[in-house]
Structure 1
Amino acid sequence: MTDTAPSEPLSPGRAATGRRAGPLLAVLVVAVCLAAGQLLARVVLRFSGVDGDSLAGLGLFNVVAFAPTAALLVTWVVYGERRPFASLGLRGGDRYRKIAVGVGTALVGLVALNVALSALGSDTGASGEGSGPSVTAWQMALLLLTFAVQAPTEELLFRGYLLPALRERWGVAAGVLLSSALFAAAHMANQGATAAYALLTFLLGVALALWTLADGNLWRACAFHTVWNWAPAVLSSGDGDGDNGAQDAAALDGGTLTPAALVLALIGLSALWAYRRGVVRVSAR
């Protein structure tokens, strides 16, 4: 990776007004926004009486934890840094094609993961067959809406806000790797999180960061992340948050970690190819 990157969210000169936070302040802002949302969601779940392991609990957590988180971040960017909301990576044309590509890539990746798990004879696949009761179409649709809150909020935090701050100070490679490492570290708060789970989340973060830099916006990353989290959660009847794309954090072992890491590494390579092609395209202008 080089520093001759194509346009990206919050790159110098792109924001019409305001001033971007430095790396340390950006990390603090992300941590505070996340902590506030997570605390609120846990309080609401506790007093609502909703089972946190159910589909209803998962959907409620997605909305209550991440909608306020996004609102806090946007409030800080607009009023604290005096920058427009779109500067977080929600600008640029061709958004519908990028969203379609993100959805398609996630579905292909999940199918490939399921095939790999089946080929290795693992009992825990991406499909989650037989792990819970059937899910109705309207439940799937409602849960998709909640993941369309959760996943894009994480993209706003780690790729729309944090990645550009790190990239501007320390370069593309450091920006991608550090933002992905912090993305994985944040997920260690999930129940049953392990080192293997963190590795998979890191690999996912690298791919999402490279797509963000390649596209100059978050549309593809948001679409991919939403489907990547939603499909396994639905097919496993809501067990786990789906962030490893296949199974609960506590369910990872040698038989599931290897194919999951391989598929995510291949996805990361495809994202790197997209980034490199974008660099060449911009350099040729």
Structure 2
Amino acid sequence: MIPQWLTHNRLYELARSGRRLTPWWGVIGIGVLIAFGSQIFALPISIVLFFLGMVEENTVNQPPLVSGLILSLVLAVSFGAMILLTWLWIRFFEKRSFVTLGFEPGRVFFLYGRGLLIGLASFTAIVGLLAPLGYITVENSNPEQVGLAALGGVLLVFFPGWLIQGAAEEVLTRGWMLPTLAARYRPWLGLLISSLFFAVMHGLNPNLSILAMINLGLYGLFAALYALREESLWGICAFHSIWNWAQGNLFGLEVSGQSVSGGMIFNLMESGPDWLTGGAFGPEGGLATTIVLLLSMAIIWWWPTSGQQMITQPVTTHQS
């Protein structure tokens, strides 16, 4: 049975509040331009760092506060531009406000705080699946980059770096693409295209595998269900941000195939089969993440709906 919150949702109504809705080919085309064009905004920072001899390969030896500041700045600028470009599109083409992306006031602190807790618990569950099997071990590392010595850099990377990065990808895919397509066409089309687009966004990441691509698509589907279940973007933005932070700066693992700077609380490494642990791509490329995502989606799907505000009006096709 398809739940009502999937077919009639507040996010769809917010998308329909503007003057027009972007067609599917425009959603994909503009989405590509925003996703990759926003990264250009960080180019001046990269050029300055290059001339200062502080390119990415050298940040591992920098003090955590320094490397954390660099990473946080790059993330904030490039992904902040992603949020800005998405807002400019809906403001001047669709003629609606930023709030309609799922950022309505009310229960903001509750939804965001709950998202942080669920996101941290979800990724910790992945580590918890691998550790008892002996597939997670502690890696020897520079003590200045781990634990309390790195705490300043670890916190700095989350705010504003990962906080903005996680929110930006959610704004583009679950805040704009998903409800726009669902409101103009059908909910299943919004779920499908936004999830596939999210996976393709990471298609150029190093050490990508087939299972990693599947998991990225599953994460996109999970995030879509999470946002629709809450009829808001606050919670999934928090979930996404702390999920990435936990991978790289809490547990010291690769984030979607990439090592991160800023130090770490624990420096762990995968020591089991790649199909289970994710190998060089990090846990997102392994079966342990597949299991956690599938269980999480099942919980969202069958969680009792009592007390949730539901939209009673049917979503109709909106032509531009």
| TM-score (norm. length: structure 1) | 0.84
1:20 is aligned to 21
Higher mean C-alpha displacement, 161-170 vs 37-46: 37-46
How do 1:16-95 and structure 2 match up within 5 A?
Answer: 16-42=17-43, 44-49=45-50, 50-52=54-56, 54=59, 55-56=67-68, 57-95=70-108
Q: How far does the alpha carbon of each residue in 1:87-111 deviate from its partner, in whole angstroms, 9 at most, with x for none? A: 1111152122111221111121122
Question: 1:181 & 1:45 partners in 2: Cα distance?
Answer: 29
Instruction: Report how far residue 218 of structure 1 moved.
Output: 0.1
- Looking at structure 2, the residues matched to 102 and 63 of structure 1 have their Cα atoms a distance apart, in angstroms, of 20
Establish whether residue 258 from structure 1 lines up as the match of residue 287 from structure 2: yes
Give the Cα separation in 1 of the matches to 2:48 and 2:79. 18
Residue 12 (structure 1) shift: 3.8
Residue in 1 that maps onto 2:217: 202
Distance apart, 1:24 and its partner CA: 1.4
Q: For each residue in 1:51-96, what CA deviation from the matched residue of structure 2 results, as whole angstroms up to 9, or x when unmatched?
A: 3354445323312321112111111211222111111111152122
CA drift of 1:212 comes to 1.2
Q: Given the alignment of the two structures, is residue 96 of structure 1 paired with residue 144 of structure 2, yes or no?
A: no
- On the 8 A contact 2:15/2:101 being kept in 1, the answer is no
Q: Is the 8 A contact 1:151 1:222 kept in 2?
A: yes
Change (3 A) 1:131 1:71: farther
1:169-205 Cα distance to aligned partner (Å, 9 max, x none): 4422332122111101111122222222212211111
User: Which of 158, 165, 174 is matched with 1:144 structurally?
Assistant: 158
Structure 2: runs of 5 or more not aligned? 60-66, 259-267, 278-285, 314-320
| Pairing 1:270–2:299 present | yes
Paired letter, 2:236: A
Task: Output the aligned Cα RMSD.
Answer: 3.1
1:225 paired residue among 222, 240, 244: 240
Q: How many angstroms does 1:210 deviate by?
A: 0.6
Q: Is the 8 A contact 1:147 1:229 kept in 2?
A: yes
| Distance in 2, Cα, partners of 1:42 & 1:199 | 30
Q: Distance in 2 between matches of 1:77 and 1:46?
A: 31
Secondary structure at the aligned position of 1:240 is classed as coil
Q: 1:282 aligns with which of 310, 317, 320?
A: 310
Separation in 1 of the partners of 2:122 and 2:157? 20
Are the aligned partners of 1:92 and 1:216 in contact in 2 as well (CA < 8 Å)?
no
**Counterpart of 2:207 in structure 1: which amino acid?**
G
Q: Which amino acid aligns with 1:26?
A: V
Counterpart residue type for residue 201 of structure 2? A
Equivalent position amino acid for 1:201 in 2: L
Structure 1 segments unaligned to the other structure (5+ residues): none
- What letter is aligned with 2:227? T
- For residues 129 and 228 of structure 1, do their structure 2 counterparts lie closer, same or farther at Cα, with a shift above 3 Å needed? farther
